[in-house]
Structure 1
Amino acid sequence: MEHGENQITIVDDEGNEQLCEVLFTFESEEFGKSYVLFTPVGEFDEDEEGPEIHAYAFNPTDEGGDGELMPIETDEEWDMVEEMLNTFYEEQEDEE
């Protein structure tokens, strides 16, 4: 995972690179992990309500901020991530 200003490049299992925009990151004391939510740049389906959002847990490293993405595996974590995403969108709407 490489970091830009607010963008990261994700490499899938087949070695394909996808530029993504980071929506936000946060840490959870409850689960002892950091999380990142991002959406692919340039992929927007007109038929959908919005861009596809991906969420992963990650372990940031000390050297330059690269880290390893890990899938979110429990319903409790997904519930917490969804709650954080809803809060993020509410704050975005309040700023407009």
Structure 2
Amino acid sequence: MTNEQHFEEELLTLYDEEGNEVLYRKMLEFHSDQFDKDYIILAEEGTQEEEELELIPMINIPDEDGEGGKLLPVETDEEWDMIEEVVGAQMDLGEEDFEA
């Protein structure tokens, strides 16, 4: 499985179920040849270091010019397993290498 990975610090504003704005930091972005999809891993901005960091994987579907687009939830177990492998490999590199 080949995954092209990009590390680029970026903040995104998304809306929760109640319509509240929530700021997220992009932690990792990669393409999976296996699923022919782009993925983005987000973490809520402002999480304290002593708190466990909750990573939120999303499918990234860019618009026609490659900017913006939409984020969709990951729905299959196979995609979750692949994402866990990629994130786990990045965590093995060390936290300073994983963070954007």
Query: So what's the TM-score if we normalise by structure 2?
Result: 0.75
Of the three residues 15, 28, 32, the one matched with 1:11 is: 15
Q: Secondary structure at the match of 1:58?
A: strand
Query: So what's the TM-score if we normalise by structure 1?
Result: 0.78
1:27 and 2:38 aligned? no
Query: Matches of 1:76 and 1:43 in 2, distance apart?
Result: 28
- Alignment length (residue pairs): 90
Runs of 5+ consecutive residues of structure 1 not aligned to the other structure: none
Greater relative contact order (CA < 8 Å, ≥ 6 in sequence): 2
The aligned residue for residue 65 of structure 1 is 67
Task: Using the aligned pairs only, state the percent identity.
Answer: 37
Q: Secondary structure at the match of 2:93?
A: helix
Runs of 5+ consecutive residues of structure 2 not aligned to the other structure: 1-8
1:94/1:53 Cα in 2 relative to 1: closer, same or farther (>3 Å)? closer
Residues 17-51 of structure 1, C-alpha deviations (whole Å, 9 max, x = no match): 111111110011111111000100113484x5x21
Query: Matches of 1:57 and 1:17 in 2, distance apart?
Result: 20
Q: Secondary structure at the match of 1:82?
A: helix
Of the three residues 72, 80, 96, the one matched with 1:78 is: 80
